[in-house]
Chains A and B, each alone.
Chain A
Amino acid sequence: KAGVTQTPRYLIKTRGQQVTLSCSPISGHRSVSWYQQTPGQGLQFLFEYFSETQRNKGNFPGRFSGRQFSNSRSEMNVSTLELGDSALYLCASSPDRPKPNTEAFFGQGTRLTVV
C-alpha cells in the first residue's frame, strides 16, 4: 500500500505570495490532518478534514486554509506569505475520524521557505 504522499517536497516562495500544498492519503483513508513544524513552535495542529469537511481547526490565522476532495486528497493554502510561515508542513492520514486509540500515518512533508 502506498504511503501518504505530499507534493511538492520543497518550495521557495516570496513574502506576500500564496502557496498550495497537496496531500494524498493512504488509499482507503478518509481523514487528513495538517501540521506545521518549526524549530521555535514545534509541531502544531493546523486542521483536520473528513468527508470533504473541516472537522477541527488549530489556532492559526485565516491566511491558512484547506480543503478535501471527494477522493480524500487534501490541499492546504497559505495566502500572503510571511517569513514566519517557513516550516515543514506535514500531512497525516487516518482510516476514519480520528478516534481515541488510533494512530496517524504521516507523509514526508513539504519544506516551505519564504524569502
Chain B
Amino acid sequence: SQQGEEDPQALSIQEGENATMNCSYKTSINNLQWYRQNSGRGLVHLILIRSNEREKHSGRLRVTLDTSKKSSSLLITASRAADTASYFCATDLIMDTGRRALTFGSGTRLQVQP
C-alpha cells in the first residue's frame, strides 16, 4: 500500500514558472525524501528532510514538512524544460516485519513547456 500520496498527479507549466507538488502520508516518520525519475529510468535522490525540520533548500528546490498535518511540499523555482520528470515523495514505513523500508507515493508528473 502507498504511504504517501502526491498531488497533483500531473502538472504542466511554462519554463520560468514555479512548480509546487504536495505529498501527504499516514504514519509517523523519521524523515521524508523526494526523488525524481526521468521517463522509465532510475530514481535520483533530490532532498531529505528530517522530522524535526520544517524547511530545507537545495539550489532551486525548497521542501517544507508539516508533521502535524502529515504533509510535505516540493517547490521548484524558475523551472526549466530539463525539470520535466516524475517526482516522488518517500517515507520510511514500518513493514509487517517490524522493520522500516522506503515507501513511495504515487508521484507527480511534471511537464515544463519550453
Contacts and interface: CB of A to CB of B under 8 A. Distances in A.
Contacts of A103: 33, 45, 48
Main secondary structure, interface of B, reads: strand
B101 A4 contact: no
Interface string B90-107: 001001110111111111
Given A42-B106, A88-B40, A101-B30, A56 B45 contact: no
B31 interface: yes
A90 B101 contact: no
A61 interface: no
A84 interface: no
Contacts of A88: 40
For chain A, which range describes its interface: under 10, 10 to 19, 20 to 34, or 35 or more residues?
Answer: 20 to 34
Given A55-B99, A98-B92, A104 B45 contact: yes
A74 to B, nearest CB: 15
Contacts of B105: 42
Given A101-B50, A103-B45, A106-B43, 5 more contacts: A35-B104, A56-B95, A98-B92, A104-B102, A106-B42
